Copies of this chain bind each other. A is one copy, B any other.
Amino acid sequence: MAGAATGSKDMAASRLLGVFREHGYDGASLAELSKATGLGRSSLYHHFPGGKEDMAKAVFDHIHEWMEISALAPLREPGDPAERLQKMINAIDRYYVGGYERCLLGSFVLGGSRGRFQPQLKSSFSGLIKALAALAVEAGASQEQGFERAEEAVVQIQGSLVVSGGLDDPAPFRRVMERLPRLILGRS
């Protein structure tokens, strides 16, 4: 049953994600994590003996699972590359609610907790880049071109979330979502 977002622990991870997304790692207090999950402090420690750090780890697992199932799986299916890419773009767009929601990965990279979660961050970013690069190669790019396009795509997604947040305007994110197909598949 690996994959479905069910089970109370996965449910909790989803709520915890919301809090970390909004407040960052350091800004997320146990009080809010408790309120968001509906679990008392002691229950949280029962499920996550390592405290906040364990909770964040569970959130990374949750995100990893989401990324594999919702974003990367379509890229690996058979069929038209453009259609498969669009599925992924739609998933990302929903995930960030059209640019109104922040990225937990970015938040953890730029916040004070980078060192603590560097392996998870590295794994997430490189997994995403690799999957996009493979699609670009399939669409006709060389290995090197494919990697460059994929890296630039992830750079633009992350950057647009920062800029949209800074300007308090989802338009930059939206514009990136629109130009992703040409960026990955080439200027056809």
Contacts and interface: CB of A to CB of B under 8 A. Distances in A.
A165 B122 CA distance: 9
Interface string A51-87: 0000000000000000000000000000000000000
A163 B122 CA distance: 9
B165 A154 contact: no
A112 interface: yes
Nearest to A119: B168
Contacts of A155: 156, 159-160, 162-163, 172, 176
Given A26-B24, A27-B112, A154 B163 contact: yes
Interface residues on A, range: 35 or more
A13 interface: no
A77 B111 CA distance: 36
Q: Is the interface of A mostly helix, strand, loop or mixed?
A: helix
A112 B167 CA distance: 16
Most chain B C-beta atoms within 10 Å of own C-beta, residue among A27, A107, A109, A166: A166
Interface in A1-40: 22-28
Contacts of A22: 112
B159 A172 contact: no
A165 B166 CA distance: 19
Given A155-B172, A159-B160, 17 more contacts: A23-B26, A24-B24, A24-B110, A26-B112, A102-B110, A106-B162, A110-B111, A121-B166, A151-B175, A155-B159, A155-B160, A155-B162, A155-B176, A156-B156, A158-B159, A158-B162, A159-B159
